[in-house]
Amino acid sequence: AFGVFLSVKVYNLKGQLVKEIKTYAKAGKTANVSWNGKDNNGRRVSSGIYYLVLQSNDSKDVRKVLMMKSILL
């Protein structure tokens, strides 16, 4: 069985690429991709709105997400 390559790119509101995650999913299987809130240089990103661009071999989807830092009291 074949699979599909998946790319998730995270952009800030300025349109700058913050993080790129690439993975491979087997055909007929669900792929789980998580983002730890760090950029490509390993630094935590600021709280705010980001755009996720999810792309596979044959489809592309854009989602708006809100990143919120947790506060420990």
Q: Give residue 17's pLDDT.
A: 98
Strand 17-26 relative to strand 60-67, pairing = unpaired
Q: Give residue 1's pLDDT.
A: 57
Tokens 């913050």 identify what position? 18
pLDDT under 50: residue ranges of the chain: none
Report the predicted TM-score, pTM, of the whole model to 2 decimal places.
Answer: 0.84
Question: Could you tell me the CA-to-CA distances from 70 to 39, 46, 59 in Å, in that order?
Answer: 17, 11, 33
